[in-house]
Structure 1
Amino acid sequence: MTVQQHTLANGFRIVSEHMPGLQSSAIGIWVTAGGRHERIEQNGIAHFLEHMAFKGTRKRTALQIAEAIEDVGGYINAYTSREVTAYYARVLQDDVPLALDVIADIVLNPVFDPAEIEIERGVILQEIGQAHDTPDDVIFDWLQESSYRDQPLGRTILGPSERVRAFSRDDLAAFVGEHYGPGQMILSAAGAVDHDALVRLAETLFGHLESKPLRAADAARFTGGETRHAKALEQAHFALAFESPGYRDDAIYTAQIYSSALGGGMSSRLFQEIREARGLCYTIFAQTGAYADTGTTTIYAGTSAEQIGELAEVTFDELARAATDMSPQEVARARAQMKAGMLMGLESPSNRAERLARLVQIWDTVPPLQDTIARIDAVTIENVRGFAEGIAGTAPAALALYGPIESAPTLAQLQDRRAA
């Protein structure tokens, strides 16, 4: 399998990887315009725009967009994250030109029909309401807000209801005009794809676009803090975050191995001590996520009102213990899990296309897969223990609590335990 790249004269980037033996392809456009690129009055508009992409273009109605892909047995979808918005499809090999034509159409030619805007506004408000009714969804929005207070990166992707109610057609068009230039777009494809044919198609569909200045996202600053939302729920929800490396920092591999050993599976420390040995919860996990210039190591658990205090304290005790006795065997297991998860995921052309787009967004190139594996293998027990010492001692922290949390300790109390 060989990764190939090309950049059009206007800055539009194409990356692809042919995967022998496949008869299908994953293809999409990744736009470097997500939640953190919004001004405060725009919060939620990137996600609103993603919804509107499927509501009709100058060439196709909403139904025709869906039929064009589904008539050939494919599917089409989109998502918005804090750093990108993606529009993608999965089709058979012969239908790649059709899929790219449809994706180009919805990205470049949305009509923003006022009637459709009102319909989709209602759908998004329902989505916001559903998120607020899902404790293990909304608590991560509150944790993000506590981690990056008063910054674009700390705001929700869906946006607040009052702003969603106010967005107009002009607002949507203005965001497209500011952020959907050729230099902000990456065409990524994997599977049964022909790179040279993709370049020719891209030249036809996107080569006419005029370059425009790129507006960098505001630099992020992990502030830390606490948010508590008391409510009569069955469970108390506990979410904790620590500042971690961004994805351009080689220490991201250490952070990911640490979080896997700490709470990444059934053999992890948090699972074994808090669920298996003490029975304090059903769900507990740790994970590390990264952005361009910052990242977070996150721990989540759900427990009873009576046990939330003990769960929080034992969690901090486990953080301290990991700094002193994390074993080479645990690091080796976490390293193996990380490599296996990545390699198994890359057997999917959809996952591979997304990875290609993400790497081009980060580095403007795709490092060889073996380089990534080598960086994972290079993480030592000393690296992991050093990172664990920072988490246990000095890394800035954020805490979010939701549900029957009256007996839950404050972040200040947990910080005192951390310092003891």
Structure 2
Amino acid sequence: MVPSKESLSFQVMVLVNTGTDFESKNTNGISHFLEHLCFKGTKKRSSNLEITQVLDNVGGSYNAFTSDEITGYWAKVASKDKNLALDIVSDIYLNSQFPEKEIEKEKGVIIEEINMYRDIPQYYIWDLWHKLLYGNQPAGWSTLGVKQNIKKFRREDFLKYHLNQYRSKSTLVVISGNFHKKEIIEKIKNGFENMSQGERQNKIGTKEKQNSPQVLLEEKKTDQAHLLLGVRGINLFDKRRYALDILDAVFDGGMSGILFQTVREKLGAAYYISSIVSYNTDYGFWAVKAGIDNNRLETILEAILKEWKRLKISLLAPKEITKAKNYLYGKIALSMENVHEVANDLSYQELLKKKIETPQEYLQKIKKITVSDLRKVAQDLLIPQHLNLSLISPYKDKEKLIKILKKNF
């Protein structure tokens, strides 16, 4: 719970520790499909309209999401409507009926969602990236699933998955905004009293093996080359993540960061470019995502790799480290202005780590990181045998790309 008397709004979010990483080959896509179906009718509200109209009538915002390890349902309303939001979110989470007719209709919706993602390179590049890094295991599969699975899912599949995964010890109810704690606790107890007890089924651990640079190239006629270039990283529990966060802030700390200045300002070769550090419970990565000039692909890859290599070879200047630490401090300070964003961050920690690190504790650890710590994590992670490139472009010469990765890293 993250209360704020000054807030005019109230948000309830229910998270379950399940997602794509908990699926099998035959059930890939079921987590996301089930999330859709939770808006199709409950015992109390028989249709999508009965669920959505009451929230629309009070100007509420609501949605759901599915990721590798978390599925979530949320509603945000004016504080006076908090009981309504809590009732609806708990209802769709616990009491969805998964009507056969709605399942058949939603198959078409999800297949079109898959088609949409395939047509948008900025989205589809992520599927290629996960496939390249993790291959034929849950971490390498698309959250949306594959069409053959979507077409064959039946009501019994959703009932079984919901029973196995949506259980008390894998569920977290998150409340933020303007509310009275004692009153809300009672409401939560009443709303979730009939929930299935115990643990959800565990996921299979992610296996990683790579001995040389890899490229996954999807030839497509595009005006830009869309890419993800990066290395295997560390998981959520690795203590080196504080140093990695600082390195990433040096590399991509806003418009004055190395990445933006090199590729956009000096080379003038990209509109969107950024780096991403991702931490899951048993894997992670550090990558650059960009849309760049097709004709200058090789030059830009070499430029990015050169800057990453510098982080590994050369000691960072004190002013670069200070700027990066200040950047992280400022970003956290700004994020704490939004009570719901604070709640989101703390809830993810609680669900995945079973432990909350406050922003103050995090910043204390950031403050203690030294130049030697930064150089060590750069040397640990920025290694040629863990380098990967996924690419959507008319470019055809995969072998040449592999040579560029080997030569410049």
Correspondence for 1:172: 158
**Within 5 A, what are the aligned runs for 1:96-111?**
96-111=82-97
* Greater mean deviation of Cα atoms: 389-398 or 309-318: 389-398
Instruction: Determine the C-alpha separation between the residues in 1 that align with 2:224 and 2:55.
Output: 42
**Within 5 A, what are the aligned runs for 1:119-268?**
119-224=105-210, 225-268=214-257
Consecutive unaligned residues of structure 2, counting only runs of 5 or more, are: none
- Indicate how the Cα distance of structure 1 residues 364 and 198 shifts in structure 2: closer, same or farther if over 3 A, else same: farther
Correspondence for 1:34: 19
Instruction: Determine the C-alpha separation between the residues in 2 that align with 1:338 and 1:235.
Output: 31
* Letter in structure 2 aligned against 1:44: G
C-alpha displacement at 1:201, in angstroms? Answer: 1.4
* Letter in structure 2 aligned against 1:57: T
- Indicate how the Cα distance of structure 1 residues 174 and 309 shifts in structure 2: closer, same or farther if over 3 A, else same: same
Correspondence for 1:282: 271
Instruction: Determine the C-alpha separation between the residues in 1 that align with 2:217 and 2:353.
Output: 38
Correspondence for 2:348: 358
Q: Is the CA contact (8 Å cut-off) linking 1:147 and 1:397 kept in structure 2? A: no
Instruction: Determine the C-alpha separation between the residues in 2 that align with 1:345 and 1:258.
Output: 20
Correspondence for 2:379: 389
Correspondence for 2:40: 55
C-alpha displacement at 1:217, in angstroms? Answer: 1.7
Aligned CA RMSD, in angstroms, stands at: 1.9
C-alpha displacement at 1:408, in angstroms? Answer: 6.1
SS at match of 1:370: helix
Correspondence for 1:307: 296
* Greater mean deviation of Cα atoms: 352-361 or 391-400: 391-400
Instruction: Determine the C-alpha separation between the residues in 2 that align with 1:251 and 1:20.
Output: 37
Instruction: Determine the C-alpha separation between the residues in 2 that align with 1:129 and 1:278.
Output: 34
Instruction: Determine the C-alpha separation between the residues in 1 that align with 2:360 and 2:328.
Output: 14
**Alpha-carbon displacement from aligned partner over 1:90-149 (angstroms, at most 9, x marks no partner):** 112232222111011101111111221122211111111110001111111101111111
User: Which TM-score applies when normalising by structure 1?
Assistant: 0.91
Residue 281 of structure 2 corresponds to residue 295 of structure 1: no
- Indicate how the Cα distance of structure 1 residues 146 and 241 shifts in structure 2: closer, same or farther if over 3 A, else same: same
**Alpha-carbon displacement from aligned partner over 1:285-316 (angstroms, at most 9, x marks no partner):** 21201101221101122222321111112221
C-alpha displacement at 1:89, in angstroms? Answer: 0.8
C-alpha displacement at 1:56, in angstroms? Answer: 1.0
Residue 329 of structure 2 corresponds to residue 339 of structure 1: yes
Instruction: Determine the C-alpha separation between the residues in 2 that align with 1:395 and 1:253.
Output: 23
**Within 5 A, what are the aligned runs for 1:59-98?**
59-60=44-45, 61-98=47-84
Q: Is the CA contact (8 Å cut-off) linking 1:243 and 1:395 kept in structure 2? A: no
* Letter in structure 1 aligned against 2:216: T
Q: Is the CA contact (8 Å cut-off) linking 1:264 and 1:285 kept in structure 2? A: no
Consecutive unaligned residues of structure 1, counting only runs of 5 or more, are: 1-15
| Aligned match for 2:407, one of 407, 414, 417 | 417
- Indicate how the Cα distance of structure 1 residues 220 and 343 shifts in structure 2: closer, same or farther if over 3 A, else same: farther
C-alpha displacement at 1:411, in angstroms? Answer: 5.6
Q: Is the CA contact (8 Å cut-off) linking 1:239 and 1:299 kept in structure 2? A: yes
Instruction: Determine the C-alpha separation between the residues in 2 that align with 1:258 and 1:303.
Output: 23
SS at match of 2:64: strand
Correspondence for 1:349: 339
Identity within the alignment, %: 27
Aligned length: 404
Correspondence for 1:13: none
**Alpha-carbon displacement from aligned partner over 1:168-206 (angstroms, at most 9, x marks no partner):** 111111110110011111001111122322221121121
Instruction: Determine the C-alpha separation between the residues in 2 that align with 1:281 and 1:77.
Output: 32
SS at match of 1:77: strand
Q: Is the CA contact (8 Å cut-off) linking 2:215 and 2:398 kept in structure 1? A: no
